[in-house]
A and B are shown apart, each in its own frame.
Chain A
Amino acid sequence: MPEILIKATNLTKIYGSGRTAVKAVDNVSLTLKRGEVVLLMGPSGSGKTTLLTLLSGLLRPTSGSIRIYSSFHASRKFPISAHGWVELTELNQDELAKLRLEKMGFIFQHFNLLSSLTALENVMVPLLIRGVNKKEARERAKRLLVELGLEDRLNSKPEKLSGGEQQRVSIARALITDPDIIIADEPTANLDSKNGREVIELIHDRAKRDGKGVIIATHDPRIVDFADRILYMEDGVIYEKDSSQARKLLLFKEGRVLAKGMGTKVCKDLKPLIHLLF
Chain B
Amino acid sequence: MPQSLRVIEMIARKNLFHDKGRVVISVGGVALSVTLVIILLGVYYGMMTLGTNYIVNTNADLWVGQEGIHDLWHTYSLLPRGLGDEIKSVDGVESVHELIGRAVQIEVPGTGAKKTVYIVGFDPASGVGGPWDIMKGSREIKNGEAIVDHVFFVRNNLKLGDTIKVGEKELRIVGVSKGTFAVVYPYIFVTTEDAAEIFGTTQYVNYYLVELSGDRPATEVAKDITDRLKEKGMAVEILTKERFIQNHKDVINESFNSILFPLVFIGFIIGAAVIGLTLYTMTMEKMREYAILKAIGAQNRFLRKIVFQQAVIITFLGFAVGIGLSLLATTFVPRFAPEFFVEMNSATVGITFAAVIGIGLLAPLIPIRRLNKVDPVVVFNA
Contact = CB atoms under 8 A, between A and B. Distances in A.
Chains A and B come from one and the same complex: yes
Contact of A49 (B11, B15, B294, B380): B380
B380 A125 contact: no
Contacts of B10: 117, 121, 128
A118 to B, nearest CB: 9
A93 interface: yes
Contacts of A49: 380-381
B115 interface: no
A5 B268 CA distance: 55
Interface residues of A, number: 39
Contact of A100 (B4, B11, B297): B297
Interface string A119-144: 00100011011111110000000000
B284 to A, nearest CB: 14
Given A121-B10, A125-B11, A128-B6, A98 B297 contact: yes
Contacts of B17: 116
B4 A117 contact: no
A132 B3 CA distance: 7
Contact of B298 (A110, A129, A132): A129
Contacts of A58: 295, 376-377, 380
A49 B292 CA distance: 15
B296 interface: yes
B380 A185 contact: yes
Interface string A67-90: 000000000000000000000000
Interface string A99-116: 111101110111011111
Nearest to B3: A131
Contacts of A117: 10-11, 14
Most interface-central of B7, B17, B296, B382 (chain A CB within 10 A): B296
A132 B297 CA distance: 14
A126 B296 contact: yes
A133 B3 contact: yes
A94 interface: yes
A173 interface: yes
A101 B297 contact: yes
Nearest to A105: B296
Interface string B280-307: 0000000011001111111110100000
Contact of B289 (A98, A106, A114): A114
B379 interface: yes
B376 A126 contact: no
A100 B377 CA distance: 13
Contacts of A106: 295-296, 379
Contacts of B4: 128-129, 131
Contact of A121 (B3, B14, B376, B380): B14
Given A100-B295, A101-B297, A108 B380 contact: yes
Most interface-central of A105, A109, A125, A130 (chain B CB within 10 A): A125
Contacts of B296: 100-101, 105-106, 125-126, 129, 173
A53 B297 contact: no
A133 B17 CA distance: 24
A59 B378 CA distance: 11
B18 A116 contact: yes
Contacts of B294: 97
A54 to B, nearest CB: 10
Contact of B295 (A56, A113, A128): A56
A125 B3 CA distance: 11
Nearest to A157: B18
A114 B293 CA distance: 9
Given A56-B295, A128-B10, A115 B379 contact: no
A249 interface: no
A52 interface: yes
Contacts of A129: 4, 7, 293, 296-298, 302
Nearest to B4: A131
Contacts of B18: 115-116
Contacts of A94: 299-300
Most interface-central of B7, B288, B299 (chain A CB within 10 A): B7
Interface of B: 3-4, 6-7, 10-11, 14-15, 17-18, 288-289, 292-300, 302, 376-377, 379-382
15 contacts: A56-B295, A58-B376, A97-B298, A98-B299, A106-B295, A109-B382, A110-B382, A112-B289, A114-B15, A114-B293, A115-B18, A115-B289, A116-B11, A117-B10, A185-B380
Given A94-B300, A128-B7, A134-B6, 8 more contacts: A49-B380, A58-B377, A59-B377, A114-B11, A114-B289, A125-B11, A129-B302, A134-B3
